[in-house]
Structure 1
Amino acid sequence: MPQVEFKTLVTSVRGGTHLASFPTDTVPALAARPDRAELIYVAKQRSLDKPLILMASEIEELWNYVKGSDRELEIWNSIAQKYLPGALTLVLPANDRVPAAMNPSDPTTIGVRVPNHTIARQILAQTGALATTSANRSGQPALLSMSAIAAEFLEVLVLDAQSEEMASGTPSTVAKWTSEGWKILRQGAIDLQA
């Protein structure tokens, strides 16, 4: 699909009818409402054993999708306050608000992230939390420009953005909470010091 303006992208994503792509601080996102996450798997030709990330404009919104003890929430919030917004994805125990399609192989966990990118956060503030992943076909490198994404994904609404904020091109660090503490699943842009 062609590149579209901010308002059109937000309205279409909120309506659940389209996938969208917009810039973030790491690599551009491919996004859908969480209850329409299957659209991402189809468009990317992605294996169902690869989970999606729940992205929001503020960490407080993401706490509504996870479950843990008061002590765990305190630990998670401490890390979030230190590194988010930013290039860190926290994999935490999911509650029943998270659609199973977000992580078909392990619906008990969900990766959550707040990007450090003004446009992304403005979109997310209006759409609510979205299911996201990098904008590329499965197994291919992440596409870094909105025009390349528009050319590759004809079914996706791509934000017409000439953002001053540049993506790093480096994916987020992914840290999973375990009974022993944090386990790094992917080392990315942030060196987590828990």
Structure 2
Amino acid sequence: MNISLDRLIRGAKEGKIISFPTDTVPGMATIPTKAELIYIAKQRSLDKPLILMGAEPESLWEYVKGSDQEYEIWQEVVNRYWPGALTLVLPASDKVPRVMNPQDPTTIGIRVPNHPIARAILAQTGPMATTSVNLSGKPPLETQAEIAGEFPDVLTEELIEYKGLGVPSTVAKWTENHWQILRQGSIIVG
């Protein structure tokens, strides 16, 4: 459903599913406590976690936990690659709703996209549970028309162009004091 940006943000705050462009592929998002709506809409298996996307790194730190030394390492990576197409999978704090990662609620993927519209929306809504816009197992949808056709109840902004890189983010998981690459995208972590 194509609506104004103000209505999109209001709908997001009310717990509806929204879509917005990112630097990779368009995102489907809702407030973290309503994340189960994304699983239902996408017909997504519960073994595939969602990520938490925010406008700024500072908005995401309360959702993770680690030692002071780990935070320093994570901050160095964030300073180098964010905003950008890098998802960091870190130990989850108690603030993360279990539905974000039902199979392993001890971790959460976090990211700050390098897209001005996404960040403007996230600055007003706060961190959102996100994933790509597609039915599970199908390629990500790339245009408003495709999104509206497949997901008529998902709110999209009427004037936004949805073209990103088309390449999903790199996913790096923090395990035993080093990074494990779970999915290689456009960013090489080194």
TM range (shorter): over 0.9
**Aligned partner of 1:136 among 134, 137, 159:** 134
Output the amino acid matched with 2:181: I
Cα RMSD over matched residues?
1.0
State whether structure 2 residue 185 is matched by structure 1 residue 188: yes
Is the Cα–Cα contact under 8 Å of residues 88 and 175 in structure 1 kept in the other structure? yes
Q: 70, 81, 84: which one pairs with 1:83?
A: 81
Whether the aligned pair in 1 keeps the contact of 2:25 and 2:163 (CA below 8 Å) is: no
Q: Share of identical aligned residues, percent? A: 59
Structure 1 Cα separation of the partners of residues 70 and 130 of structure 2: 25
Matches within 5 A, 1:45-60: 45-60=43-58
1:167 aligns with 2:181: no
Distance in 2 separating the partners of 1:55 and 1:162: 19
Runs of 4+ in 1 over 3 A off after TM superposition: none
Equivalent positions of 1:83-122 (< 5 A) are 83-122=81-120
Q: Which runs of 5+ in 2 are unaligned?
A: none
Task: Determine if contact 1:31/1:131 at 8 Å carries over to the other structure.
Answer: yes
CA distance in 1: counterparts of 2:25 and 2:163, whole angstroms: 9
Structure 2 counterpart of 1:168, which letter? Answer: L
CA distance in 2 between counterparts of 1:35 and 1:129 reads 11
Residue type of the partner of 1:43? A
For the 8 Å contact 2:26–2:163, the answer to whether it is kept is no
In the TM superposition, what whole-angstrom CA distance separates every residue of 1:67-113 from its partner, at most 9, and x where no partner exists? Answer: 00000000000000100000000000000000000000000000000
Amino acid at match of 1:184: I
Gaps of at least 5 residues in structure 1 are none
Helix, strand or coil at the partner of 1:131: strand
